[in-house]
Structure 1
Amino acid sequence: MANIVQFENIGLRYGTGAETLTDVSFTLRSGQFYFVTGASGAGKTSLLKLLYLAQRPTRGVIRLFGEDAVLLPRDRLPGFRRRIGVVFQDFRLVPHLSARDNIALPLRVAGVPEVDIEQPVQEMLAWVGLAERAQARPATLSGGEQQRVAIARAVIGRPEILVADEPTGNVDPDMAERLLHLFDSLNKLGTTVVVATHDFHLLNRIPHAQMMRLDHGRLLDPTGSLRHPPHRPES
């Protein structure tokens, strides 16, 4: 399995405040399943923003698909982003579009001919169990149904990486299990899956998943020790 993502000594600071992420280094292997865990405020969302290129680091190196993503020219960013599917915590569905049209949106933005859109959209609706709700608008869908539409929209372009930020945070435990099953099914088809969650009860639901734990912006090793010791002020 090839390395699909590499973070090297990443630091992220918003404005002039303290660093949100400090000396974060890790490697993601193609086709693996990863959980990013930690308490609220640990830096999970910030790490994911770096991963799907919504944010650039303050320092350090990020390599995606074998290339330096920090130095990537702006005109190449859209092509890179199409290789990464994102499921946002707040869904971000377009309210005036049906479930079907929300799912079809990435294909239309990419210029896929309309004649080639219908079949993959129908397949996605069936995959997430919403074939009967194709014409429903987001306001008429439950939280779990909205999340499934968001997942279908994120993966319809067959991304190499799927990133999900707290995807089970707004659904009941039964729906959380169902959503994780969808992620696991996608992972078994070869997609690298990265799920951020503060719900530690979910971690055992995917026994083959690997865990990365953040604590106050620093990455911990599996035993709970800091991978990088805190910086000591110069005397």
Structure 2
Amino acid sequence: MAGLDFRLAPGGFYFLTGPSGAGKTSLLKLLYLAQRPTRGRLRLFGEDLTDAPREDLPAFRRRIGVVFQDFRLIRHLSAFDNVALPLRIAGQSDREIEGPVREMLAWVGLADRASARPPTLSGGEQQRVAIARAVIARPELLVADEPTGNVDAAMANRLINLFEAMNRLGTTVVVATHDMSLIAAVKGARLMRLENGRLADPTGELRHPPSLSREAGA
């Protein structure tokens, strides 16, 4: 992937598209701090994290919700406990967690599957648990890699409505997808396209500058 230079406006809604192998997943990994840039600068929430100590990164990651393409659910935990995990990490009590987690599971159509563990869930159900977990703590940045690839059209619309609701609350949303109907459904969303190492910025202008920088919440 060539050098990219762009900024995400806090509270914006972005779709990232491009052919397979264009680097979408690699770019998302930079956004949720799973990788660091090999050159250039990386800014997040107003902080330059390019050379930040490794022990400082978990605090920033807790401000980010991630929907992974391969779900990454904890197999021995129930759907309820997978969704509750970010709230428990944040120090909330079981009493505080119960209502929001039940409500979120109901929103994604899994109210009756709260006690089920991931190996007993279908791919689409696992996807919905992963999305519920990503948004339950109202992250400042939500990064989703093909979040509707395993669900039907009706559920895809319901999930994108959830992302829009998070966005209205101030969350910056970045969704990588090939689904153009999904993109068309979100009014006001901005489109970025990766192709041949080049990025079309939100205004549609192709750019190919020498560095990668990214900022949200500044």
TM-score w.r.t. the length of structure 2 is 0.88
Identify if the C-alpha distance between structure 1 residues 193 and 222 changes in structure 2 by more than 3 Å, giving closer, same or farther: closer
Distance 2:209 2:44 in 1: 26
State the SS of the aligned residue for 1:35: strand
Answer yes or no: is 1:71 the counterpart of 2:51.
yes
Indicate the residue corresponding to 1:179 in structure 2: 159
Aligned-pair CA distance for 1:189: 1.9
> Please, which moves more after superposition, 213-222 or 86-95?
213-222
Unmatched 5+ stretches in structure 2: 211-218
Indicate the residue corresponding to 1:144 in structure 2: 124
Indicate the residue corresponding to 2:109 in structure 1: 129
Map 1:1-235 → 2, pairs under 5 A: 21-221=1-201, 226-228=206-208
Distance 2:186 2:24 in 1: 19
> Please, which moves more after superposition, 101-110 or 49-58?
101-110
Distance 1:140 1:80 in 2: 32
Give CA-to-partner distance per residue, 1:43-101, whole Å, 9 cap, x none: 10000000000000110111111110112222210110000000001111112211101
State the SS of the aligned residue for 1:22: coil
Distance 1:152 1:176 in 2: 13
Aligned-pair CA distance for 1:171: 2.4
Indicate the residue corresponding to 1:6 in structure 2: none
- Residue type of the partner of 1:190? G
Give CA-to-partner distance per residue, 1:98-134, whole Å, 9 cap, x none: 1101111222234433333222222322332322221
Contact 1:40/1:198 (8 A) holds in 2: no
Aligned-pair CA distance for 1:229: 6.9
Give CA-to-partner distance per residue, 1:117-164, whole Å, 9 cap, x none: 222222322332322221122233233322121111112222101000
Of Structure 1 and Structure 2, the greater strand share is in 1
Distance 2:170 2:204 in 1: 29
